[in-house]
Structure 1
Amino acid sequence: MKKQAWLIAIMALMGVTINAQTRMIKANDTIRQFTIYSSSKIKANEKVPLLLNFHGSGMTALEHMFYTNTNALAEEKGFIVVYPQGLNNDWNVGFEQDYDNGTKDVEFIQTLIQKLQKHYPIDVDKIYATGLSRGAFFIQRLVAELPNTIKGFISVGAPMPNEVKNRMQSAEPVKAMYVHGTADEIVYANGLDGAYLSINECIDYWKQRNKSNREATTSEYDVADDDTSIIVENYNSVAFMKIENGGHTWPNSDPFNVGFPLGKTTQDINFNEHIYNFLFH
């Protein structure tokens, strides 16, 4: 019975992966690539949310799709998820590349969203973004430069770049969650001078912008025997998921190492379900 259940699970995963499609568009005279998965549960004439999910540096969109497994979430909940591909597997996030004259990634995503709206039943009031590392730095640039487009984001392993904060074009509320491991040795929770803020500074910024002044509702998770635990501080539209002893990884994913000190991957929470509950509700 265990073997049969395992085979069913593998077949289900293959189904949501096979149905993903990789396509190309032209933005700023450059051919750009993205992979899209559209839930089979979407009904005719129904408008559904769009989740943009961005890979980290050195990863591809397809690798990130397998790693985060948000196709399964999109299929279950009935929405569309898109994995954009960065040039040279990277994003122009506001540091380590010329902000204005580097790769035109913001323009790529703006064009992509416009094209998606023409061909898919996307609810323009429910466009969200998430990502890991460089991809998570970049989604905050999208919030700054495409005001009122991204309605909420979850940044995994990436505080807000300094230059992104300087270029915010709107004071409208945006749902904001930061997810960071206390043992992350790639991106520091306490910030980096000349590059990005600390997590605490990010939370303070979004609490003020979203006018979320109430005390945090705190939830704790420690169910897996993996030497990690989770504390979530929720301020309604702003949240911080602190992963004790966690590394520079996507929570609840398969642990892996690509030659960097990525650290531990917590299994204490169904992270993709948490994404849905925070952004879509």
Structure 2
Amino acid sequence: MKKQVVLLVLITLLSYTNHAQTRMIKANDTIRQFTIYSSSKIKAGEKAPLLLNFHGSGMTALEHMFYTNTNALAEAKGFIVVYPQGLHNDWNVGFEQDYDTGTNDVAFIKTLLQKLQKHYPIDTDSIYATGLSRGGFFVQRLVAELPNTIKGFVSVGAPMPNEVHKRMQSSEAVKAMYVHGTADEVVLPDGMDSAYLPVARCIAYWKKRNKTNDKATHTSYDKVDDGTSISVEAYDTVAYMKIKNGGHTWPNSDPFNVGFPLGKTTQDIHFNEYLYAFLFH
């Protein structure tokens, strides 16, 4: 029975993958790559939400697609998901390469969005972004540099980079959720002075910018005996999902290890469903 279930899951994943398409565009005289999956539930003549999903450093867009499994979410909910590919499997987030003279990834995404809006039925009022690690850092740079474009983001294992914080100019409200493991040794939840803020400061920033109320809604999850538990602190359009004993991983994903000390992957929540509910509603 267990083998049958595993086989069914693999067939389902392959089905979603077969309908994903990898394409190339030119941005700033550089050929860039992205992979797109469009739900079969999108009806002709209708506009659909878009989710940009960014890989972490050292991963490819395709690996991230398999890892996060948001194709299945897009299919079920009727939206489009895109996985941009960073040069050298990385993103310019303002540390470890120069913010201004390093890779111009923002220009790539700006060009990509223009192309997507030309060829796909994108609802420009429903463009959201998520990412893991460097991808999560980069999502916040997009919010800073493409105001009124990204309506909400979920950053996994990545607080706000210092350089991004300095350059935030817009006062528009943006849905903001941070997801971080307390045992993450790759990106520290308490911040790094030379690189990124503590998660607590990020939450304070977005609470003030979004003018949320000061009273939080607290929810806990501890459904699986995997050594982790989850607490969510939510303020309307701002949320902090703290994963006790969690590592540098995408919640509810396959807890694989690629040779790095990534730590534990919580299975206490259907994370992609939670992400969808937060961003799309």
Fold shared per TM-score above 0.5: yes
Q: Which runs of 5+ in 1 are unaligned?
A: none
User: CA-to-partner distance for each residue in 1:133-158, whole Å, 9 max, x for gaps?
Assistant: 00000000000000010000000000
The 5 A counterparts of 1:119-268 are 119-268=119-268
User: CA-to-partner distance for each residue in 1:9-33, whole Å, 9 max, x for gaps?
Assistant: 3222211111000000000000000
The answer for the alignment partner of 1:76 in structure 2 is 76
User: CA-to-partner distance for each residue in 1:84-124, whole Å, 9 max, x for gaps?
Assistant: 00000000001110100000100000000010000000000
Confirm whether residue 115 of structure 1 aligns to residue 108 of structure 2. Answer: no
Secondary structure of residue in 2 paired with 1:124: strand
User: CA-to-partner distance for each residue in 1:179-231, whole Å, 9 max, x for gaps?
Assistant: 00000000011110121100000000000000002311011000111000000
Secondary structure of residue in 2 paired with 1:278: helix
- Aligned equivalents of 1:9, 1:134: Cα separation in 2: 29
Per the TM alignment, residue 4 of structure 1 is displaced from its structure 2 partner at its CA by 4.3
- Aligned equivalents of 2:3, 2:262: Cα separation in 1: 32
The answer for the alignment partner of 2:105 in structure 1 is 105
- Aligned equivalents of 1:244, 1:2: Cα separation in 2: 29
Confirm whether residue 21 of structure 1 aligns to residue 21 of structure 2. Answer: yes
- Aligned equivalents of 2:12, 2:193: Cα separation in 1: 45
TM-score when normalising by structure 1: 0.98
Secondary structure of residue in 1 paired with 2:254: coil
- Aligned equivalents of 1:9, 1:33: Cα separation in 2: 27
Secondary structure of residue in 2 paired with 1:31: strand
Tell me which moved more, 211-220 or 31-40: 211-220
- Aligned equivalents of 1:3, 1:190: Cα separation in 2: 42
- Aligned equivalents of 2:47, 2:60: Cα separation in 1: 29
**Identical pairs, percent:** 78
- Aligned equivalents of 2:152, 2:200: Cα separation in 1: 18
Per the TM alignment, residue 6 of structure 1 is displaced from its structure 2 partner at its CA by 4.0
Alignment coverage as a number of residue pairs: 281
- Aligned equivalents of 2:255, 2:9: Cα separation in 1: 19
Amino acid at match of 1:237: T
- Aligned equivalents of 1:92, 1:128: Cα separation in 2: 19
The answer for the alignment partner of 2:67 in structure 1 is 67
- Aligned equivalents of 1:8, 1:254: Cα separation in 2: 16
Q: Which runs of 5+ in 2 are unaligned?
A: none
Contact 2:173–2:209 (CA<8 Å) still a contact in 1?
yes
